[in-house]
Structure 1
Amino acid sequence: MREFVIDKLTPFVDHITVDRAGNVLAEKTYRGGHGPTILLNAHLDTVYELEEDRKILKNGTIWFSSKGILGADDRAGVAIILHLAEHLYHSSLSGKVKIIFSVEEECGLVGARQVDDYFLWGTDAAIVVDRRGNGDIVTSCGGIFPFCHQDYGAFFEKVAVEERLSGWTATMGGSSDTRIWAEHGIQSVNLSAGYKNEHTEEELLDVKACYHTTKLLEGVFKRGNELKDVIRKISRNHQEIRNYRRAL
C-alpha cells in the first residue's frame, strides 16, 4: 500500500519521503505559498489483513467484500486525498499542503505519534479523512478532548452549505490520528469517508458519500484565504485569553 501511494502521489508533490516509522510524508507549495498551510492525513493500515481471494462486490454505489473486511477504513480516506492531490495540482490554490499517510493507526495511533515535530512546524490546520458514515465533521473525541475551536468546525459546515452538500454537521467522535495533530496545537477535524460497519465482515463503502467528501474538500481549498482568516482569528483569540490569564 505504501508503494502504491508513493507511485500515485509523486507526480503531484514537491517532496516525498518515508520516515523512520514508515509513514509517507509529502509536501507541495502552490503559487508562492502565500495562503494557508494545511495538513491532510489518512492511515494506510487496516484492522485485519485482507483476504487474498476476496472480490469487491458492487450494488449501485455500495461496495463490499465477498469475504473478510473491505478495508475502506481507511483506504477510502487514502483515495480521497490522492484524488485531491491531483485536483490541487491543476487548481489556482496559493499555499502549502502537507500530506501524511500514517501507519499502525489501528493499534494506537503509533505512526502519527512518531512523526517528527519539524514536519508539523508552520501548519495552520489539519484535515483527517477517517470517519465512518457521511456528513460528520468530528471536532472532539467524545466531547472531552477538543480537536479544534468551534469556529474551525463551523467553517466546514459553511463550505458544505455553499457547495450545496447537505447533511454536513460538526459533531463529537472517537479517537484517530486527529488527536495527535490537536495535541500539537493544530486546529484539526476528522471528516466522514463514506464507509460503515468498519472492523467487521459487514463493512461497506458508499462511493457516492466518498465523492461528496472530495467535493467538500475541493470547496475548502477553493476558500483558502477565508480559511486562513478563520485560523488567524482563532489564534488571536487564544493569545488574548493567554494574556488575560497572565494579567490575573
Structure 2
Amino acid sequence: MIDPERLKLEFLTLAGIDSPSTRERDLAQHLISVFEALGGECFFDHSAVYSRSNTGNLIVRIPGRSDLEPLLLSAHLDTVEPTPEVQPVEEAGIIRNEKGGLVGADDKSGIAVIIELVRALRDSGASHPPLELVFTTCEEIGLFGARYLDYRLLRAKMGYILDSEDPRKVIVKAPEAIKFRLKVLGRAAHTGLEPEKGLSAIKLAAEALARLPNGRIDEETTLNFGTIKGGKATNIVPEEVLIEGEIRSHDTAKIDSLWERINETFREVCSPPEPDGRPAFSAHREEMFPRFRVDPEHPVLRLLSRAASRLGMDLEYAKSEGGSDANIFNRNGITCVILGTGMRRVHSPEEYLVVEDMVLCTKLLYEVVVSAGEGALQPD
C-alpha cells in the first residue's frame, strides 16, 4: 500500500520548508494541515516556554482500535542549520541539494515516512492501534523538545523514532553523556617585572591534562577535552583557564570513575594552595543525555522482527555513539528504538537521501503497525 512516488514528493515538499532549530513553526503548521486532512487530532504542548523554539512540540493522535495500546512514532522538526534555498535533485535514486549543503534528510525523511504511513493506512483500511505522533523541536541543539515534552499527554509505552541511516540497522543502545567545565585559578603578575610572583593557570592546566587520558578510553567510553581558554596578554602571567569537555559511555559507572579521576588530578596539581588560596580549582558537570538499552525480547523489537520477516528483511541490532530523542523517551518510560530512513552524511555539505531506503523504512513501519493491529502484542 505504500506509494513510493507520493512518499518522495512529500519529502521534496518538506525539504522546501525551512525549519532550523528554534524556528520550526512553519513546518509544524504544514503538518497540521496534512494530518487534519487525514483525520488526526493535532495540538501543541507548552515546551516552547523552555526550549527557545517559536513553537511547541506537535502531537498528533490518529484513531485506531480502542482495545489496543497506542504506539508512539516520532521524528524531529528541526535541521542542524537553515536551508532557506534548498534545491533538491534526484539522480539514480539519490536526493541531494543541487546547491550543496543540507537537503534536510535529517529528519524530514522521518517525517515523510510517518505521513506516508498514515496515508497508506487510510487507503488500505487496515486495522491498527491508535498512533501517537510526536514531532519534536530543537533536537539538534540539545534534545530540548523531548526534554520539555509533557509526557502526561501520551499514553503509549513503546514506539519507534525515525532518525537514523540504514533501515536494516535498528539502534537499540546508546550511551550516556555528560559535559563538564573546569576552572583553574592561578595568580596574575607582570611577566617582565616580577614573573616569580605569578602562578600560570595555563601551565597548571597543561600539567593536569598531560596526566589524563583523552579520546577512546575503551570500547564503550570516550573522553574529550574540547576547548581551552585562558590568558589576557603576553605580558601577563595567565590567572585563569577554562576547560570544557565531555564524557560518553554505555556504562554510567565508567563516567563517574573518569569524572573522579579528572577531579583528583586537578586537585593534586593545584595543591597545596599558598596563603592567598591560589592556585585553586573548581569543576561542574551536567547531563547531556541519559543512556538507553532495549532488551532484544522486548515487545517493541519482537513486533519489529515479525514485520521484517513479512518483508523478508534481515535486521541488525546496533548501537549508536550519539544522543537522540530516543534517549529521552526511554528515560520517561516509553521504550523506543531508532529506525533508519535512508539519510546519509548528515550534518555535512554532502548530506543525501537514498530513496529506496526511505521506501523500505516506510514498508517496515507499515508492517509493524498492521501487525500490532492484528493483535500481535496481545496475550495468547
Residue in structure 1 matched with residue 377 of structure 2 by the alignment:
228
For the residue of structure 1 that corresponds to 2:130, the secondary structure is: strand
Q: Does 1:117 find its partner at 2:264? A: no
Q: CA deviation at 1:24?
A: 0.7
Partner amino acid for 2:91?
Answer: N
User: Any runs of at least 4 consecutive aligned residues in structure 1 with deviations exceeding 3 A, and if so which?
Assistant: none
Q: Give the distance between the partners of 1:18 and 1:185, measured in 2 at CA.
A: 21
For the residue of structure 2 that corresponds to 1:30, the secondary structure is: coil
Of the candidates 325, 330, 335, which is equivalent to residue 177 of structure 1?
A: 325
Q: CA deviation at 1:124?
A: 2.9
Q: CA deviation at 1:149?
A: 2.4
Q: Does 1:9 find its partner at 2:157? A: no
Residue in structure 2 matched with residue 99 of structure 1 by the alignment:
133
Partner amino acid for 2:119?
Answer: E
Partner amino acid for 1:62?
Answer: I
Q: Give the distance between the partners of 2:96 and 2:171, measured in 1 at CA.
A: 25
Q: CA deviation at 1:162?
A: 2.1
Partner amino acid for 1:228?
Answer: L
Query: Size of the alignment, in residue pairs?
Result: 227
Q: Give the distance between the partners of 1:99 and 1:74, measured in 2 at CA.
A: 14
Residue in structure 1 matched with residue 363 of structure 2 by the alignment:
215
Q: Give the distance between the partners of 2:343 and 2:75, measured in 1 at CA.
A: 14
5+ long unaligned stretches in structure 1: 234-248
Identity of aligned residues (%): 25
Q: Give the distance between the partners of 1:94 and 1:134, measured in 2 at CA.
A: 22
Given the superposition, is the C-alpha separation of residues 148 and 13 from structure 1 closer, same or farther in structure 2, using an over 3 Å criterion?
farther
Given the superposition, is the C-alpha separation of residues 226 and 137 from structure 1 closer, same or farther in structure 2, using an over 3 Å criterion?
farther
Taking the TM superposition and a 5 Å limit, the aligned residue runs for 1:24-173 are 24-31=58-65, 33-52=66-85, 54-66=86-98, 67-90=100-123, 91-120=125-154, 122-142=155-175, 144=250, 145-151=291-297, 152-165=300-313, 167-173=314-320
Whichever of the two has the greater Rg, that structure is 2
Residue in structure 2 matched with residue 237 of structure 1 by the alignment:
none
Given the superposition, is the C-alpha separation of residues 96 and 3 from structure 1 closer, same or farther in structure 2, using an over 3 Å criterion?
same
Structure 2 length as normaliser, TM-score? Answer: 0.56
Q: Give the distance between the partners of 1:5 and 1:195, measured in 2 at CA.
A: 20
| 1:154-190 deviation line (CA, Å, top 9, x unaligned) | 442332122123x422211131111111011222111
Of the candidates 194, 200, 205, which is equivalent to residue 348 of structure 2?
A: 200
